[in-house]
């Protein structure tokens, strides 16, 4: 794969590494961005420890709560302009409401709104609005209390980031504070038990490679890894994270003080993990000139 200046810049921006280090990392890993980030971390050349999903698609996330159930849906469009369109927003709102009665995206696509399946409703809107759209995903939580929060709201109940928090006990205040924390910090899981084993194993391998670069004995490395993995789990799981409202407490401890036990959460961000091919600006200009 060709290592372009744009690719090097992207890696530099995401890790804080120097230009030559970024270029070498990409070259060593055949242009694979995630592998290059891990390579830089292993060499101690990357400031960024977390790899966030590249948010390239537009659209809206809508959240709806009905009693002890909350749902979040993401509907994508090609431009932010459409996300601000009242007709598009009305459609997304109706889809989110319909999601309360189904279990997954396939069932939601088949669910009817005003006598028409959601999939057909979206097809009709593509024809009238003139942009490609799709229902990308949905997620739900259930609990004694469910609280919703939307960050960067475009209108009531929908925006760029939608969060749902399920709790036993507590009230709207602590629920919203925790939801805002989730929107800002983006935990990987509720607790250590719910962390994806592959993510944990990958992080452990990276930390072992970093430790071995130091040249320390294996028995010392093992102790180093234990401490680093404990920190990784604490930073990655909601209940163990320092609460943004009061960093002296973990989220779990803050919830307990408010009489709440957090049992689950959902966080959807528009376009998270979607990569859209970007053309090099110089190549774009050259192509335009050829067609002139």
pLDDT (0 to 100) of residue 290: 60
Give dist(CA 289, CA 135) in Å, integer: 37
In this prediction, residue 52 carries a pLDDT of 36
DSSP 32-93: -HHHHHHHHHHTT--S----PPP---EEEEEEEEETTEEEEEEEEES-HHHHT-HHHHHHHH
Report which of residues 278 and 77 the model is more confident about. Answer: 77
**In this predicted structure, what is the pLDDT of residue 47?**
56
Question: Could you report the per-residue pLDDT of 99-123, keeping only the tens digit for each?
Answer: 999 999 999 999 999 999 999 999 8
Q: What pLDDT score was predicted for residue 277? A: 53
The pLDDT of residue 280: 52
Split at pLDDT 50, 70, 90, the class of 286 is: low
**Lowest-confidence pick of 161-165, 209-213, 286-290:** 286-290
Q: What band does 282 get if pLDDT is binned at 50, 70 and 90? A: low
pLDDT digits (tens, 9 = 90+) for 27-60: 999 998 888 888 888 877 775 434 333 333 799 9
Mean of the per-residue pLDDT values for the chain? 87
């Amino acid at each position: 794969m060709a290592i372009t200046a744009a690719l090097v810049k992207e890696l530099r921006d995401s890790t804080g590494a120097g230009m030559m280090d970024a270029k070498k990392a990409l070259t060593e890993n055949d242009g694979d961005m995630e592998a290059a980030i891990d390579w830089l971390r292993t060499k101690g050349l990357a400031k960024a420890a977390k790899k966030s999903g590249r948010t390239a698609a537009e659209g809206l996330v809508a959240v709806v709560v009905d009693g002890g159930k909350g749902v979040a849906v993401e509907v994508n469009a090609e431009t932010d302009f459409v996300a601000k369109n009242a007709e598009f927003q009305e459609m997304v709102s109706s889809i989110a409401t319909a999601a309360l009665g189904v279990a997954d995206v396939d069932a939601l696509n088949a669910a009817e709104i005003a006598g028409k399946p959601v999939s057909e409703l979206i097809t009709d809107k593509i024809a009238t609005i003139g942009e490609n759209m799709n229902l990308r995903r949905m997620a739900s939580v259930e609990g004694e209390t469910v609280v919703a929060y939307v960050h960067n709201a475009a209108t009531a109940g929908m925006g760029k980031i939608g969060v749902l928090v399920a709790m036993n006990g507590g009230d709207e205040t602590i629920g919203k504070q925790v939801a805002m924390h989730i929107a800002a910090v983006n935990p990987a899981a509720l607790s250590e038990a719910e962390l994806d084993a592959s993510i944990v194993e990958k992080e452990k391998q990276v930390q072992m490679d970093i430790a071995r670069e130091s040249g320390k004995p294996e028995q010392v490395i093992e102790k180093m890894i234990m401490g680093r993995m404990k920190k990784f789990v604490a930073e990655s799981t909601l209940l163990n994270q320092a609460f943004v409202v009061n960093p002296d407490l973990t989220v779990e401890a803050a919830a307990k003080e408010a009489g709440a036990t957090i049992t689950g959460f959902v966080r959807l961000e528009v376009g998270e993990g979607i990569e859209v091919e970007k053309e090099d600006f110089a190549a774009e200009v050259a192509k335009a000139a050829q067609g002139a």
